[in-house]
Amino acid sequence: MSTKVVKEESMVKQKEMIADHFKKLARAKEEGKKVVYTFVPGNLTELLLAFDCLTVHPEINALQSGMRKKSGEYIAEAERAGHSEDVCTYVKCDIGMLMKGNIGPTGEQLPEPDLLLLSYTGCYTFMKWFELLRERYDCPTVMLQVPYQGDGEITPKMVEYVSRQLREVLVPKLEEITGKQLDEARLQELLASSARSEENLVHVLESAKNRPSPIDAYFGGVYYIGPLFTAFRGTPAAEEYYRMAAEEVDQRVALGLGPVTPEGQLENERFRLVTEGPPNWTHFREFWKMFYDAGAVVVASTYTKVGGTYDRGFRHDPSRPFETLAEYCLGCYTNLNLPDRVNMIADYVRDYHADGFLINSVKSCNSFSAGQLVILRHVEEKCGKPGAFIESDLVDPRYFSPSNIKNRLESYFQMLAQRKGQKVTA
């Protein structure tokens, strides 16, 4: 494996944005900024920015720690403190990081929260996670109760129920913490900015319908969703990033180029895949290289919808600020029922002309892995394309077996090659 990592200009910009955010967090207390810990699915970034709050996303800290090879020691620290081996490794990584001084992935000290804000969207573990954090921090906690899409639809009553919590519970608490009144006009401006970024994100993701696909929508996709799913939605920096990403993609489409990967540009697109489930972060580049070596490109993924299903038509609507925030929370991927998830994957296989689909079942992530074998069989029945199943974990290096995963992938790619009439390589 080459040690030099190839990156696009937009990837470099995103890295700078993240580093700058951690620097702001390190200075937050001395500059009088209020800090809110919250999660990616259903996060309320625009509302928090309207109060000039800075955000910390614990699962982003965990995945960044995993990519930097720091998560293993944090997980071990949490397990020594009594946390079970079966607990979500995001949780254990975050708790272990806290126990070892709460130094963030980029080396800066993370500030203590002024508010723990949980927008529950399909992951019960989030609730237990914040209970653990609440034991360690002397600060208020707000939990939004977001109804599950059991019947596969968002009803007006659901929207009203969540938006009322935003107005009557969260806004008063933010006003109390910050000493500021909500400026609804500013909130609307932030939401309008988000909608512009969301439009460009969808343009980037849907560019994968081209042959060859100019992007990888799973490994490369995590870069594209980063700013919009975390602290930057509603900001000029996010708008600039997504304009830049869209221009890069359009240029590659015009030139007939494949995606940029850490190993270089993919020259020969042999297989087009759809993926279900999060990637592994501790061996991210090694995992991606297995696809690169086989000429496999992921053209659509469910993971890139965990922070919003924008390609299904949702955009933040500044004319209905609280209702649109409610609809956003209700529509995140892990808040969808299994039939809807099956339909989404089958639609992706058809619309993106995929040769098959792959499930990466993550050992400690129940919100994704529950029901995945059922999903596999139903998607195969609906779209007539073969699925594959591999297993790894989020940020626990003990549960990524390179040889096992590589063998399964190679067998799957050989089967796809036979179906496509391609030469089968050993």
* pTM recorded for the entire structure: 0.94
pLDDT in tens, 260-288: 999 999 999 999 999 999 999 999 999 99
pLDDT digits (tens, 9 = 90+) for 16-42: 998 899 999 999 999 999 999 999 999
Does position 2 have pLDDT exceeding 70, yes or no? no
| pLDDT one-digit tens code per residue, 163-199 | 999 999 999 999 999 999 999 999 999 999 999 999 9
Distance, in Å, from the CA atom of 113 to the CA atom of 96, rounded to the nearest integer, reads 17
Q: What's the CA gap between 114 and 132, in Å, rounded? A: 16
Of the two residues 334 and 423, the one the predictor is more confident about is 334
SS3 426: coil
What is the β-pairing status of strands 264-265 and 260-261?
A: antiparallel
Determine the Cα angle at 376 with ends 370 and 377, to 5°. Answer: 115
Confidence label for 123 from pLDDT (cuts 50, 70 and 90): confident
Query: Does residue 211 surpass a pLDDT of 60?
Result: yes
Q: For the beta carbon of residue 92, count every other beta carbon within 10 angstroms.
A: 28
Rounded Cα gap, residues 241 and 222, in angstroms: 14
Question: What pLDDT sits at residue 114?
Answer: 97
**Two structure tokens written together for 30:** 């001395």
> What does residue 134 show for φ and ψ, rounded to 5 degrees?
-65, -30
Q: What are the tokens at 88?
A: 């979500």
What was the pLDDT predicted at 6? 66
pLDDT in tens, 135-154: 889 899 999 999 999 999 99
DSSP string, 171-237: HHHHHHHHS----HHHHHHHHHHHHHHHHHHHHHHHGGGSSS-SS-TTTTHHHHHHHHHTTTTTSHH
pLDDT at 368: 82
Q: How many CB atoms lie within 10 A of CB 190?
A: 21
Domain ranges of the chain: 9-186
Instruction: Please give the structure tokens belonging to residue 65.
Output: 């720690």
Tell me the C-alpha to C-alpha distance, in Å, between residue 121 and each of 94, 118, 186: 19, 9, 26
Please give the pLDDT value at position 124. Answer: 80
Residues forming beta bridges with residue 300, ordered by sequence position: 274
Tokens of 45: 């970034």
Torsion of CA 147, 152, 153, 159, to 10 degrees: 10
Token digits of residue 320:
């209905």
Cβ–Cβ under 8 Å, residues 173 and 34? no
Local confidence band at 251 (pLDDT 50, 70, 90 cut-offs): very high
